[in-house]
Amino acid sequence: MSLTEIMHHADLSLYPKVGLLIFLGVFLLVCYRTIRMNRSMDLEHAAHLALEDDAPPATSNPASNPASNTGSSR
């Protein structure tokens, strides 16, 4: 039996239907969550994420940072 005959007899029409149902479920979940979202708190917080500093800026003067001192003298 060749691969073509095996694939012909296999009922593969179920896979696109399952994929469509999964996509539809995720799409509806995203729509529901978008409509239900607390706009004053969630969106305001998300809007400022790109503007927040995560860490203090690094110093450009290696003499002021004792961890960067390698012990070599000039």
- Note down pLDDT in tens along the chain; length 74 residues: 788 888 888 888 889 999 999 999 999 999 998 888 766 777 777 777 777 666 666 666 656 555 555 555 55
* pLDDT score for 64: 58
* pLDDT score for 58: 66
CA gap 59, 67 in Å, rounded: 12
Give the C-alpha distances (Å, rounded to integers) separating 36 from 3, 33, 40, 41, 44: 49, 5, 12, 12, 15
* pLDDT score for 19: 96
CA gap 48, 9 in Å, rounded: 56
* pLDDT score for 74: 52
